[in-house]
Structure 1
Amino acid sequence: MDDFVNVAADPHGNEERDRFLDLEELQFLSTEGIDKHGRRILRIVGKFLHAPIINRLHLKDYLIFKILAEAPQEPLCIVYFHTDANRAENSPGILNLRWIYEAVPQDLRQRLEAIYFVHPGALSRMTLAMVGRFLSDGLYDKVKYVNRVEFLWDDVRKGQVEIPEFVFQHDKVLEERPLMDYFIEPDPFSMLSSSSVGHGKPSRWGTIM
């Protein structure tokens, strides 16, 4: 913990930053503006997280470093874009996420006050509903599902978070197929569609969300 604090305070901590160049290049995590409640936004783009090839210890260390370097004292929220993420390539799994969350320092966990989950799939909803009570520090209670980008503006002002173009494109698909909100017809962009594509494909992460 002290090592990370020192690096965050030292603008010349290039050696420590070099440890995470592989994750920085993926651009799945960025520190952005603030939500309407004054919380610093951590943007996570699930599609850019190549989960099968990332070591969870390395990912945990990167998350701590990123937060302490760019938002060392502020209350935090996460805007997570689940759009186009699939269980074979982009999801670390609920058990690994729980481990990472519990492994970070308690003060960071307490500073995380909300998670805006944009474009949740049926499988992710069901998984979180089943295991939510086992998540520590009331993590499940911090999750707010956001079915459309327009509903994100209830909590985040426009211009405070960068939104990839493919997220807007998925919104258009949902508008044309409204039954997908009720999981009555299959969602080609949700993780359910990856069950056949990724069948038999091993993952280093284990249990997948």
Structure 2
Amino acid sequence: MELRIVQSTAIPAKAADSVAVPSTDAGAAPHSQHAAITPPEAAALVPDEDFSDLEETRFWEDEGEDVEGRIVVRIVGKYLPAHVFPSDHVERYIHHKLHELFSLAGADRHVSILYIHTECEALNDNPLALLSFRTIFHGLAPNLRLRVGAVYILHPSLTLRLGLWLLSPWLSDSIYSRVAFMSRVEFLADHIPLDEVDLPAFCLEHDRKLEAHPLLDYGFQLDRAAATQHLPLGL
């Protein structure tokens, strides 16, 4: 199996503990009941906001399929430093891209979201805060929400795990039940064939660090190299 690895995208100057994921959505309506977004509706969803800064980062890619045949949306948190991209700007862009994807894919297609949290905790500079997860999913129409089959989180930190658990009372059960934490790339491969998604090179490097320093998994040890990567010179 060919593993596709991409180098980290530069940020523009501006601007296994895997949780089982059901193959079908519990309580979801049959595909025939899913209302497709018509072209006029899709056009109305395109905002006037300029998203060219986010397009340049390539944090979002939607290609390939998981083992259930769902379209994979890959989101790289490290490409979204908060001092460059406000969280509400990122949330609106993700909403725009999801609606666009659902419109083009057709009413019978589902998606899976792969959120790569690798090194975000050490950087402490990522706009996709915990509340962003709730805002993004609850901002979708109910029929579109049902078409998100799974949310895979690669290299989740202890803070992210606990935060999502604490936030779960304010998330719908159907959404929270679809979250699957992947502490290693090899566990992710059980759900998404690795030749179906572009993983940044630092994901595999982080896996090697975890093998050498297991406490990084639980937040008890700081990845100093990642934490100082974007500090100003002289600090």
Give the TM-score normalised by the residue count of structure 2: 0.68
Post-superposition shift, 1:107?
2.4
127-136 or 145-154, which moves further after superposition?
Answer: 127-136
Aligned pair partner of 2:115 in 70, 77, 80: 80
Taking the TM superposition and a 5 Å limit, the aligned residue runs for 1:1-209 are 5-6=42-43, 19-72=50-103, 73=106, 74-86=109-121, 88-136=124-172, 138-181=174-217, 183=218, 185-188=220-223
Post-superposition shift, 1:55?
4.2
Where is the helix percentage greater, Structure 1 or Structure 2? 1
Is the 1:83–1:167 Cα contact (8 Å) retained in structure 2?
Answer: yes
Is the 1:60–1:103 Cα contact (8 Å) retained in structure 2?
Answer: no
Q: 1:54 to 1:104 in 2, by over 3 A?
A: farther
Q: Secondary structure at the match of 2:195?
A: coil
Post-superposition shift, 1:29?
1.1
Post-superposition shift, 1:99?
2.0
Structure 2 Cα separation of the partners of residues 94 and 184 of structure 1: 17
Aligned length: 187
Aligned identity (percent) is 32
Structure 1 Cα separation of the partners of residues 147 and 207 of structure 2: 30
Q: Which amino acid is 1:158 matched to?
A: L
Post-superposition shift, 1:97?
2.7
Q: Secondary structure at the match of 2:67?
A: coil
String of CA shifts for 1:144-186, please: whole Å, max 9, x gaps.
01010011111111210000000110000011123444x2741
Structure 1 Cα separation of the partners of residues 143 and 219 of structure 2: 41
Q: Secondary structure at the match of 1:159?
A: helix
Q: 1:5 to 1:168 in 2, by over 3 A?
A: same
Structure 1 Cα separation of the partners of residues 219 and 91 of structure 2: 36
Is the 1:85–1:91 Cα contact (8 Å) retained in structure 2?
Answer: no
Q: Which amino acid is 2:57 matched to?
A: L
Give the TM-score normalised by the residue count of structure 1: 0.76
Q: Which amino acid is 2:69 matched to?
A: G
Q: Secondary structure at the match of 2:168?
A: helix
Is the 1:4–1:64 Cα contact (8 Å) retained in structure 2?
Answer: no
Unaligned runs of 5+ in 1: 198-209
What is the root-mean-square deviation of aligned Cα atoms in Å?
Answer: 3.0
Alignment-derived partner of residue 201 in structure 1: none
Is the 1:51–1:91 Cα contact (8 Å) retained in structure 2?
Answer: yes
Q: Which has the higher contact order (CA 8 A, sep 6+)?
A: 2
Post-superposition shift, 1:57?
4.4
Structure 2 Cα separation of the partners of residues 48 and 162 of structure 1: 14
Is the 1:60–1:104 Cα contact (8 Å) retained in structure 2?
Answer: no
Structure 1 Cα separation of the partners of residues 214 and 183 of structure 2: 11
Unaligned runs of 5+ in 2: 1-36
Post-superposition shift, 1:7?
7.2
